[in-house]
């Protein structure tokens, strides 16, 4: 975190990647240090790591989510996005701490697909907004990240 902050980034993007987020506690610790210092946007594993850094828990899915055409509901707008997914773990929505709200719901199995901590300019989604099949369904997430960068953090 110190090295990242020394670069004076406008924001931090936590990308996807394989692995069990519970096995990455050293990374979670570093993310915890970054939260509130710079705007953060996480996807897939980045979503899970950010959730753990904020105090939530993750768990292994029985089958995982893989492939395209997974319907995800944006709980703020009611819109259903068609997403691409590739993960075997999920965030436990019951463990989200105060100040962190679930923003997206998987319509196939009810798992948490997104969350936000508005006070600390941190948000994430479980699916892959950078990928098809709904090529523009998730564009607003990148616009949200850009807006949070433009506003900056006031920790």
User: What residues are labeled active site?
Assistant: 44, 128, 130
Rounded Cα gap, residues 144 and 155, in angstroms: 19
Q: Residue length, the chain?
A: 155
Nearest C-alpha neighbor of 102 from the set 153, 149, 54, 59: 54
Cβ proximity of 127 and 90 under 8 Å: no
Question: Please, which residues bridge with residue 117 across strands?
Answer: 122
Tokens (6 digits) for 136: 């523009």
């Amino acid at each position: 975190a110190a090295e990242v902050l020394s670069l004076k980034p406008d924001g931090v993007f936590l990308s996807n990647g394989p692995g069990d987020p519970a096995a990455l506690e050293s990374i979670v610790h570093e993310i915890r240090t970054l939260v509130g210092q710079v705007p953060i946007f996480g996807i897939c594993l980045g979503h899970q790591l950010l959730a753990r850094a904020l105090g939530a828990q993750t768990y292994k899915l029985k089958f995982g989510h893989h492939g395209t055409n997974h319907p995800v509901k944006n709980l703020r707008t009611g819109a259903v996005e068609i997403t691409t997914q590739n993960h075997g773990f999920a965030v436990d929505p019951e463990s989200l701490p105060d100040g962190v709200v679930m923003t997206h719901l998987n319509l196939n199995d009810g798992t948490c697909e997104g969350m936000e901590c508005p006070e600390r300019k941190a948000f994430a989604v479980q699916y892959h907004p950078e990928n098809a099949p709904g090529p523009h369904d998730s564009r607003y997430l990148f616009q949200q990240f850009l807006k949070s960068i433009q506003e900056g953090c006031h920790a």
